[in-house]
Structure 1
Amino acid sequence: MTSSTDLQGLRILITRPEGRNEELRSALVAAGAQVWVQPLLRIVPLAENDERYQHARRCLLDLDRYQHIIFISVNAVACGMALIDELWPQYPLGVRCHAIGAATAKALHDWPWPAGALTPLDAQQGGAMDSDSLLASSAFNAVAGQRVLIVRGCGGREQLAQKLRERNARVDYAECYQRCGPDLAADDLQAQLDSASIQLVCLNSGETLQQFAERIAAERRDEYCLVLPSARVQQLAHELGFRCTLIAENAGTAATLAAIKTWQRERNVGNQK
């Protein structure tokens, strides 16, 4: 049985983009941790004269020609839905909507979608829908000849689109925003870490990890334990010289909290031996 003080004494830095940290911060504080917030990515919508924005607008203007639309993140929902809401007074029928991650699914469910267009929210509560589980779902068993639109930020992994194309789906991207590093010097971040005696750093993506690594000297990377959302990001962390890592089931708050509690329990048992 866990208690509200499971994480008593832990000093944790969380690094999600501005406006995305409060849920995790509150959950960690409620579990007894001391928490500091330092966003390591900025989410910047594309300018209207950017060709990538214009391409996304054209794709979303033709949304009724697609059978599936996939939102990669909460930011993809916010930026993509702003365009859809502008272009479509009524959401087009016949387009199935999918989300990568429970938080993304919840963001989608906050919009007034037609009945049946969305995967039920409770289907994603036990574990977030990642790219692999989405590909394994019945919706994508037979997509040959179907059109799929992926809403995301600029750049990113190509695995999902590649797998869909291997199944002979026609895949387009609607890139609506870009991710930028913070205006934060290495000395400033290191000073924060030192003054707060940070033990754990939560990094919810490979890009956030890269921003963190750029600001931490190689000889100091074994001083922190990193909480990471996948084995892929863990492998990247090891390649960058971080020795202590733990993997959450996904980047969501519940999974991150569970991973930290498990780590803390194991650490306490080890200290008692």
Structure 2
Amino acid sequence: MSAAAACPAFGAHSPAAVLTRPAGQSAWLAGQLAACGIEPLEFPLLEILPTPDDMPLRTALANLPQYTLVCFVSPNAVRHALEKLPHVWPGHVAAAVVGPGSAAALAEFGVAAPGVQVFQPAAGPNARFDSEALLAVLPLARLAGRRVLLVRGDGGRDLLLDRLREAGALVDVVSAYVRRCPAPAEALWRALDGLLVSDRPTSLALTSSEAVGNLDALARAHFDTVGLARLHRIDCFTSHERIAKTARAAGFGRITLCGAGDRNLLQALKSWANPYLAKHADR
């Protein structure tokens, strides 16, 4: 179960958390959970791949100095785009991201204050990291008639694009990556099956509506009726009502909303697990 190796003391009653982000993107959270006595199972429900046709992306990046603002919808958009940037980021071009994960990814490429103005939603216990929150901090009135580049994956919501264009911005859209439904390895299915049939308290971290849809399709193909019912009884945690709504429609009934970001998700999972950990601490 990945990070479990760092904390081998998990027992028959240890709580577990199923993490569903794309492969390689749950390392910090998994490590923190393991250190707290919560066994993480990394079960990616989205596969992220480079866009098969990156010429529009490369062209836009080559012309980056012509833009006033570049918006990235996710850390994946940042990484898959900036690894192809042919020159240093121009200081007069501002960047915008939807959350701290994307801001951290920008910083990995040297795009950060004070050298570059970076717009992002404010952090905090009640923070939201989505298009709506980013729009609330963007100087939309100043973008009228200005060129804006929107870097995203294939498909996705058009809210950010629509609002920018309604404000009069001249928006170019490029895809940096594509999302696919993965094919989980048999070892992952065995690990998940084992949790569901055990007496161990198990939670599920849901961070994307698309991932919930993938889980629904994969689970209905893998489980029988009894197994699917066990899965739907799992305790789910998510930071957005839109994701919660998708999960309810898929049959999940025990859903807790928490603050946005990994630190808030970690706190919510610790609060959920603490009664179980305390109950068996002296056994």
The change in CA–CA distance for 1:138 and 1:204 in structure 2 (over 3 A counts) is closer
- Residue in 2 that maps onto 1:100: 98
Whether the 8 Å contact between 1:134 and 1:140 is mirrored in structure 2 is no
- Residue in 1 that maps onto 2:264: 255
TM-score in terms of structure 2 length = 0.79
Whether the 8 Å contact between 1:109 and 1:121 is mirrored in structure 2 is no
Q: Does 1:233 align with 2:258?
A: no
3-state DSSP of counterpart to 1:97: strand
Aligned residues: 253
In the alignment, the residues of structure 2 paired with residue 160 and residue 120 of structure 1 have an alpha-carbon distance, to the nearest angstrom, of: 14
In the alignment, the residues of structure 2 paired with residue 237 and residue 27 of structure 1 have an alpha-carbon distance, to the nearest angstrom, of: 25
- Residue in 1 that maps onto 2:203: 200
Residue 25 of structure 1 deviates from its aligned partner by: 0.3
User: 1:195-237 deviations in whole A, cap 9, x for unaligned?
Assistant: 1346111121112111111122454442212222311111111
Gaps of 5+ in 2: 1-12, 221-227, 278-283
Structure 1: which 4+ aligned runs deviate by more than 6 Å? 265-268
- Residue in 1 that maps onto 2:67: 66
3-state DSSP of counterpart to 1:192: helix
User: 1:108-161 deviations in whole A, cap 9, x for unaligned?
Assistant: 112223734233899547646432222111533432112221111111111111
The change in CA–CA distance for 1:150 and 1:57 in structure 2 (over 3 A counts) is same
Tell me which amino acid in the other structure corresponds to 2:252. Answer: F
In the alignment, the residues of structure 2 paired with residue 170 and residue 234 of structure 1 have an alpha-carbon distance, to the nearest angstrom, of: 34
Whether the 8 Å contact between 1:69 and 1:148 is mirrored in structure 2 is yes
Residue 189 of structure 1 deviates from its aligned partner by: 5.5
TM-score in terms of structure 1 length = 0.82
The change in CA–CA distance for 1:219 and 1:41 in structure 2 (over 3 A counts) is same
3-state DSSP of counterpart to 2:148: strand
In the alignment, the residues of structure 2 paired with residue 138 and residue 120 of structure 1 have an alpha-carbon distance, to the nearest angstrom, of: 7
- Residue in 2 that maps onto 1:243: 253
Q: Does 1:215 align with 2:218?
A: yes
Residue 33 of structure 1 deviates from its aligned partner by: 0.7
In the alignment, the residues of structure 2 paired with residue 69 and residue 135 of structure 1 have an alpha-carbon distance, to the nearest angstrom, of: 13
Tell me which amino acid in the other structure corresponds to 1:111. Answer: F
Residue 31 of structure 1 deviates from its aligned partner by: 2.0
- Residue in 2 that maps onto 1:25: 30
Whether the 8 Å contact between 1:106 and 1:121 is mirrored in structure 2 is no
In the alignment, the residues of structure 1 paired with residue 121 and residue 241 of structure 2 have an alpha-carbon distance, to the nearest angstrom, of: 25
- Residue in 2 that maps onto 1:184: 184
Identity between Structure 1 and Structure 2 (%): 29
Tell me which amino acid in the other structure corresponds to 2:194. Answer: S
Whether the 8 Å contact between 2:259 and 2:265 is mirrored in structure 1 is yes
The change in CA–CA distance for 1:139 and 1:109 in structure 2 (over 3 A counts) is farther
In the alignment, the residues of structure 1 paired with residue 111 and residue 187 of structure 2 have an alpha-carbon distance, to the nearest angstrom, of: 44
Tell me which amino acid in the other structure corresponds to 1:70. Answer: C
- Residue in 2 that maps onto 1:118: 117
Tell me which amino acid in the other structure corresponds to 2:169. Answer: A
In the alignment, the residues of structure 2 paired with residue 225 and residue 167 of structure 1 have an alpha-carbon distance, to the nearest angstrom, of: 41
In the alignment, the residues of structure 1 paired with residue 170 and residue 143 of structure 2 have an alpha-carbon distance, to the nearest angstrom, of: 9
Tell me which amino acid in the other structure corresponds to 2:152. Answer: R
Tell me which amino acid in the other structure corresponds to 1:95. Answer: V
3-state DSSP of counterpart to 1:83: coil
Tell me which amino acid in the other structure corresponds to 2:45. Answer: L
Gaps of 5+ in 1: 1-7, 269-273
3-state DSSP of counterpart to 1:176: strand
In the alignment, the residues of structure 1 paired with residue 142 and residue 275 of structure 2 have an alpha-carbon distance, to the nearest angstrom, of: 44
Residue 21 of structure 1 deviates from its aligned partner by: 1.6
Aligned-residue RMSD, C-alpha: 2.8
The change in CA–CA distance for 1:188 and 1:265 in structure 2 (over 3 A counts) is closer
Q: Does 1:11 align with 2:16?
A: yes
Q: Does 1:136 align with 2:136?
A: yes
Whether the 8 Å contact between 2:98 and 2:133 is mirrored in structure 1 is no
